[in-house]
Amino acid sequence: MLKQKYDVVVIGSGPAGLAAAIEAKKTGAEDVLIIERAKELGGILQQCIHNGFGVEIFKEDLPGPAYAQRFIDQVEELGVETLLDAMVLDITPARHIYAISKWSGFAELDARAIVLAMGCRERTRAQIRIPGTRPAGVYTAGTAQRFVNIEGYMPGNRFVILGSGDIGMIMARRLTFEGAKVERVLEIMPFLTGLTRNYVQCLLDWDIPLQLSHTVSRILGNRRVEAVEAVQVDEKWQPIPGTEEIIPCDTLLLSVGLIPENELSRKAGVALDPVTGGPYVDEGMQTSVPGIFAAGNVVHVYDLVDWVTEAGFLAGRSAAKFAIAERKRTARQVKLQPGDNIRYIVPHVMDKESLAESDQRLQMRVIKPIEEKVWVEVLDGENLVTRKSQRYVRPGEMVTVDIPQKAYDAVQKADTLTVRVVRR
């Protein structure tokens, strides 16, 4: 059962989101909720079955799912709430969240602080504009990774991989392990873009050829990929004529970069840095919108998950502190509510501590005229806090009443003060 208001709501449950939720709870946030799009926690770590995670944080070399499990266990122990298989539709700058899921239906909730941890997504064929036909068999490396490692499908038999980033190289080994032939890994840059150790343990170990300063200049095939045309490029990435080579294959994987996923951030009014593609953040990972924090690959793309976790911890801690301060501030506030024959009151809320400084004047208008003596009463429920006599009230003439300093104690007990006008 979802609550109406949370101290901290975390969007996304990858390494950044899990860390943020854990740290928020440990810092003293009471109600913490994670909203996750997938049916389980862990994000992309669940499909990163290779080892290499946790060397910095745990001094251990863990596979992705095992790394995620350590944080999932903590999330459960600490009593962080989760809403899985859910989509956040919108976030307002006032931290009102609209979400939808099979379990909750359409849900609206408020957060004292939000941590954006939506991660990033892969660049696709369209974003690098590879010419040629549009057959089946062109995948991003991460999509193929999900098929092979979680869903249990092989996306093809003979592969060419474009991009020497870590995901590309790790998939080259993974597909080889599953019986596929990886014909080539092509890299447009004159250097490797992933970690050197992945070059060794993913490509060299299994005799998978890597060609630097090469790219795919054309995709061939009608219904299905039949081959790609590879070409060498100069230092300006321009194809060098005469170097074209047709590589027969049935599948092309793209490992050509990641883009922070910030559609929700934009909706919340968060300012984005055009260089990183992620929010501008301060030292505590707060974005340009107060109370909205961000962590992990949604801010900029990391190369080690351990650092994503660290960023999540930082954002979670900052979000909890913000929420606690917010809770204290609103606990000191009393609402001013129009009662009988009052249309509105200004101010709408009042800091209870303000009475320690001075009397507080309320301004209001009545709904209907009363041409005889009246009381303007300020009440906490049925208890009279203060009142003032007036000879008449008219909608055209503003009414005021002062809450005196001596009412300080009475006001401390109240959540809401009602003002009404009654005949004497």
Among 69, 74, 143, 243, binds other proteins (CB under 8 A): 69
Q: Which two tokens stand for residue 21?
A: 């939720």
* 349 forms part of the interface with other proteins (CB under 8 A): no
Nearest to 82 by CA among 125, 31, 44, 123: 31
Binding region for other proteins (CB under 8 A) out of 109-117, 198-206, 229-237, 375-383:
198-206
Q: Which positions ≥6 away from 349 have C-beta within 8 Å?
A: 333, 334, 335, 336
CB of residue 152 vs other proteins: minimum separation in angstroms? Answer: 4
111 contacts 6 by C-beta, under 8 angstroms:
yes
By CB under 8 A, the residues from 26 to 45 that bind other proteins are: 39-40
* 304 forms part of the interface with other proteins (CB under 8 A): yes
Cβ nearer to other proteins, comparing 49 with 410: 49
Amino acid identity, residue 20?
A
CB of residue 146 vs other proteins: minimum separation in angstroms? Answer: 10
The separation between CA 266 and the C-alpha centre of its own chain, rounded to angstroms, equals 11
Handedness of CA 386, 388, 394, 397 (dihedral sign): negative
Binding mask 202-231 for other proteins (x = CB under 8 A): ---x--------------------------
Cβ nearer to other proteins, comparing 52 with 316: 52
CB of residue 65 vs other proteins: minimum separation in angstroms? Answer: 3
Cβ nearer to other proteins, comparing 49 with 259: 49
Among 55, 128, 220, 410, binds other proteins (CB under 8 A): 55
Among 44, 68, 252, 419, binds other proteins (CB under 8 A): 68
Cβ nearer to other proteins, comparing 90 with 303: 303
By CB under 8 A, the residues from 134 to 193 that bind other proteins are: 148-152, 174, 177-178
CB of residue 63 vs other proteins: minimum separation in angstroms? Answer: 4
CB of residue 196 vs other proteins: minimum separation in angstroms? Answer: 3
CB of residue 48 vs other proteins: minimum separation in angstroms? Answer: 9
Cβ nearer to other proteins, comparing 40 with 273: 40
58 contacts 73 by C-beta, under 8 angstroms:
no
Nearest to 408 by CA among 392, 377, 380, 385: 385
C-alpha angle 217-220-221 in degrees, rounded to nearest 5: 160
Among 12, 14, 52, 165, binds other proteins (CB under 8 A): 52
Query: How many C-beta neighbours within 10 Å does residue 338 have?
Result: 17
* 241 forms part of the interface with other proteins (CB under 8 A): no
* 201 forms part of the interface with other proteins (CB under 8 A): yes
Q: Which two tokens stand for residue 417?
A: 């003060």
CB of residue 150 vs other proteins: minimum separation in angstroms? Answer: 5
Binding region for other proteins (CB under 8 A) out of 126-134, 195-203, 271-279, 287-295:
195-203
* CA–CA gap between residue 334 and residue 331 (Å, rounded): 8
Helical ranges in 82-188 per DSSP H: 125-128, 141-146, 166-177
Nearest to 154 by CA among 172, 134, 180, 136: 180
Q: Which two tokens stand for residue 97?
A: 């969240």
Q: Where are the beta strands (DSSP E) in 67-180?
A: 81-83, 86-91, 96-101, 105-116, 120-122, 138-140, 158-162
212 forms beta bridges with: 187
CB of residue 251 vs other proteins: minimum separation in angstroms? Answer: 19
Q: Which two tokens stand for residue 371?
A: 């041409």
Binding region for other proteins (CB under 8 A) out of 60-68, 284-292, 351-359, 362-370:
60-68
Cβ nearer to other proteins, comparing 66 with 259: 66
Among 2, 66, 189, 272, binds other proteins (CB under 8 A): 66
Cβ nearer to other proteins, comparing 152 with 396: 152
User: Cis (ω within 30 of 0) for the bond into 338?
Assistant: no
50 contacts 170 by C-beta, under 8 angstroms:
yes
* 74 forms part of the interface with other proteins (CB under 8 A): no
Q: Decide: helix, strand or coil at residue 204.
A: helix
Calculate the dihedral angle through the C-alpha atoms of 154, 230, 189, 174, rounding to the nearest 10 degrees: 20
Site residues (vs other proteins, CB under 8 A): 39-40, 46, 49-52, 55, 61-66, 68-69, 148-152, 174, 177-178, 195-197, 199-201, 205, 303-304
